[in-house]
Chains A and B, each alone.
Chain A
Amino acid sequence: MTVAGAWPAARPILKGFVGAAIGFGVGAGIAAIGRTLAGDDAWSLELSFSVGYVFALIGWLAGVGVWERWGLEWIGRETRPATEGWQRFFAFTTDHKVIGVQYLVTFLLLFLVSGLFAMLIRAHLLEPEGAIFGDDGYNRVMSLHGIIMIAVAVAAIIGGFGNYFVPIMIGADDMAFPRVNALSFWLIPPVAVLLLSSQAVGGWDSGWTAYPPLSVTNASGQVFFTLAIITFGLSSILGGLNFLVTVILMRAPGMSWGRLPIFVWAMFAASILALTFTQFFAAAMLMVTLDRVADMSFFNAERGGAPLLYQHVFWFYSHPAVYIFVLPGLGITLEILAHFSRKPLFAYRWAVAGLLGIVGLSAVVWAHHMFIAGISEDLLVPFLVTTEIISIPTGFVFLSALGTIWMARLWLRTPMLFALGVIFNFLIGGITGIFLADVPTDITLSDTYFVVAHFHYTIIGGEIFALFAAIYYWFPKMTGRMYNETLGKLHFWLMFIGFNATFIPMFWLGLNGMNRRIASYTPDLQDVNVLVSVMGFTMGASFLIFVANMIWAFARGPKAADDPWRARTLEWQTSSPPIEENFPSPPIVTGGPYDYGVPDAPKHGVFAPAGASDEEGS
């Protein structure tokens, strides 16, 4: 990485900024003309910014590479060649592995930044009156922590490992729509910039849920939030579409649906959700934006609007969204459990049925977030019933996990520790979910720290632990180097103990009168809050070990073998890291992915000799 190489690396992003600036000028100009004609001031922060942003986004995408690598074709000209070398990680690149790394690094950075916000929140709550922020500062940091972590939860595994490994695991050489894939990623930087820069115009204090009327009347940072979410949603929808088409059409010969690795199934299930439901989130955000800049009064009760309407539209996406977070995490967990137990994945078909059953039921449970919102009392029973029923397909995942480790000789490497951790954590997340699904108990528990503890158990416990399992599991494949096992285990134990000791006491806090999203609390709860904060800092410290391990391993780690885990799935049958086409010759799938110990089981994948693939097909 020389200084000479820095210019080609910075070029696409600088061009993107120039495009964004030009676009913003055009958009704000259009808004100014419109307002002047209507007899208003030319500039109005929220309207001018919103219209300016739409054009700035187009300009950014065009500048960063959409035009040079794609758009030139539309006018019948040659597109520019792809960037080579390490600079490709900073460019509009169609290689799914590069895009996977771009996603993963971006979202790990956001995870650490937002984790820092969590540390600030816990430092503030060391004292009942609050130790750091004023009320407004607290509400803003809490909101920022919430939405950035939601974005991490949506895209870290799907964008990172989904992009990198789904094509390899199904034996394809890329995603179905490589350029759409690059577009999905380059929509992400504007989201991060908007969310962080919103603080310059007052931020927003309505949490990640942004319920109106508050989100219609608060500071202008709220508009940055809604625009960011609409952009992020677009990225998510394009990604979902791409994964579905890839899995349906790009599987290698012999890769029947019954031979798909469970992680690919989980990605498939999550992609159905992302493609189907994300537009409802965007619609909710659009309505808030229009209420603010165009006075549409969707949510203004005095003028015929309905505040509750927002919650229905919002949760119609945002409940399925929790399965967008968690399903890929559960997929990785089952994947690792099978390989490190060296046994077939127990009740594979039931696990798949569980994943798909969750997809189906997730569409009809949203109002369980609204049991105390003032909805009709006749809606309580139906949504209670559907919500309780979703525990049945979720149970299949536990069946599969427990059956897989049963009677096995468990290989306790770092990925396996994290996968076992997921079972424990997600069990607590799932069981406490029953208390929130059951209307009578939810009445007192909703909007308290019980809920805070519950969703951190499902999202950190079920997904972020799986994310780290995946990082350790696939690190040797992606980098060709091995991480340090001792540091990996230290990271696990510190994170596992810190996590549980942070969030278990929060259940108690919720039962004892601490509601969520508060900058101050009653003094009787201070002792437990101090405990929670100290344990939270412990958990935070574990990530320093992780970062040190990753940096060391990336620079100096010992060379990793192609298949250090001796796993059967296709990604381990190619070089570490894989070549650009993924495999030297196209794979043919001849057996199941997890047939460890099955007598005379055929290999999962074999490779036709180079050049012979054409004959295979005929």
Chain B
Amino acid sequence: MRRDLAVVGVLWALLTIVGELLAVFVDPFPLTRSDKGEDIEGAFLVLVYMAVPVFTFVIAVLVYSVLRSSTTEFPEEDGPPIQGRGAAPVAWLAVTSGLALMTIIYPGIVGINELFFDDDETELVVEVEAVQWAWIFDYPEQDVSTVNDLVLPLDRNVTFEITSTDVLHSFWVPSFLMKIDAVPGKTTEITLRPTSVGSFATDPLMRVQCAELCGLAHSKMTARVSVMEADEFDLWAAEKASVSTSEPTPAADSQQIDIVGKDILFDLDAITVESGRQVLVAFDNQDEAVPHNWALYESRDDAEGGEEAIAGSPIEAGPLIQQIVFEAPEPGTFFFRCDVHPTTMIGEFTVQ
């Protein structure tokens, strides 16, 4: 028995060393890009370091027991009648209680205080509205509003004030490692500070992903995230704010297109106009309390790749009528959609 204990002890030690080395050198997380995310990654690694010896202990006993003596024939002799009434269970209780207590204190309670009860001063507020199946971001201080496009400054504390207008959603940016549900009728909050510049174009984890099952297009309810230098962000915000105020007035000879949005569908899936004349799109959003808009893009790929729209209206909840006025581009085939419902409300826009 003494010998067996010694062998298992050595096996355990070896497996633990291998396991801990793997834990140190193999980082399971891709690049983490927020301050809170770094806290979470740290907590994860601490738990891995603690889990390794527990895992290897059980494996060592299991593997050794099978290797030491096993048979496919009926074992004529019974094993030693060890009942387990001695000190072993008490020692086991002490060790497992100690481990549980450790995880409760750190990363548990310490981590909760870091993540939820810090006093970081908010430097930017982003109001997040989740709808089936899009993300609408409002920057109240900047007077900017975007859909499925979250732009953030580097190294500023951002507070997200999150709500939903229909069902449960969950606001999750994988590379920030932070997540909280969007709940109808209440506002949930997270605060974090982006710590590295990057965008969805190069890092698929730089996206807002709905993480709470929300029906049909749940898996596609994503928004591009980009983090830029703070001064670049200020420029972006200023430009966005100015764009949304200028509105051309319709000319008398403009070609008017009437299009209706109802039950999260357009009544037209193709529009044809003449080149060289002004176009007036009158978009009638008949869906009560459902936000829509009408936006024209070079192509579907452009729209989904985050390119600017050629023309478009702001996202507003119905019922209401919006007018979009623009000069018809050169002849060709274009793409229009509702930015909130890019999978269902789409169509082809032809210029002759």
Contacts and interface: CB of A to CB of B under 8 A. Distances in A.
Contact of A411 (B30, B75, B88): B75
Interface in B174-188: 174-175, 177-181, 183-186, 188
Contacts of B47: 434-435, 438, 441
Interface in A132-150: 135-136, 139
A391 B96 contact: yes
Contacts of B72: 411-413
Interface string A426-453: 0110010011011111011011100000
A139 B216 contact: yes
B249 interface: no
A45 interface: no
Contacts of B264: none
Determine the main DSSP class of B at the interface with A: mixed
Contacts of B30: 511-513
A583 interface: no
B80 A597 contact: yes
A350 interface: yes
A447 B170 contact: yes
A289 to B, nearest CB: 17
Contacts of A521: 219
B209 interface: yes
Given A213-B167, A350-B84, A374 B180 contact: yes
B268 to A, nearest CB: 23
B112 A344 contact: no
B100 A596 contact: no
A508 B30 CA distance: 10
B242 interface: no
Contact of B58 (A346, A389, A427, A507): A427
Contact of B115 (A392, A403, A443): A443
Given A374-B188, A405-B65, A511-B29, A206 B213 contact: yes
Nearest to B110: A440
Interface stretch (B37-45, B153-161, B309-317, B332-340): B37-45
B71 A409 contact: yes
B54 A431 contact: yes
A467 to B, nearest CB: 21
Nearest to B222: A522
B220 A135 contact: yes
Nearest to B289: A302
A385 B108 CA distance: 8
B4 interface: yes
Interface stretch (A159-167, A376-384, A530-538): A376-384
A214 to B, nearest CB: 4
Contacts of B51: 431, 434
Given A388-B103, A444-B37, A410 B179 contact: no
A431 B100 CA distance: 11
Counting chain B residues whose Cβ lies within 8 A of the other chain, the interface size class is 35 or more
A406 B92 CA distance: 15
A108 interface: no
Contacts of B215: 139, 205-206, 214, 218
B80 A508 contact: no
A407 to B, nearest CB: 6
A306 interface: yes
Contact of B43 (A440, A508, A519, A566): A440
Contacts of B217: 135
B245 interface: no
A112 to B, nearest CB: 26
B69 interface: yes
Given A205-B215, A389-B100, 15 more contacts: A136-B216, A344-B81, A374-B188, A380-B116, A392-B97, A395-B92, A409-B71, A410-B69, A411-B75, A412-B66, A424-B58, A435-B44, A446-B211, A513-B209, A519-B218
25 contacts: A206-B213, A305-B185, A307-B183, A342-B79, A374-B181, A374-B183, A385-B104, A389-B104, A391-B99, A395-B92, A396-B92, A408-B80, A409-B71, A410-B65, A410-B69, A411-B74, A412-B66, A440-B40, A441-B111, A443-B178, A444-B44, A448-B211, A511-B28, A512-B30, A596-B81
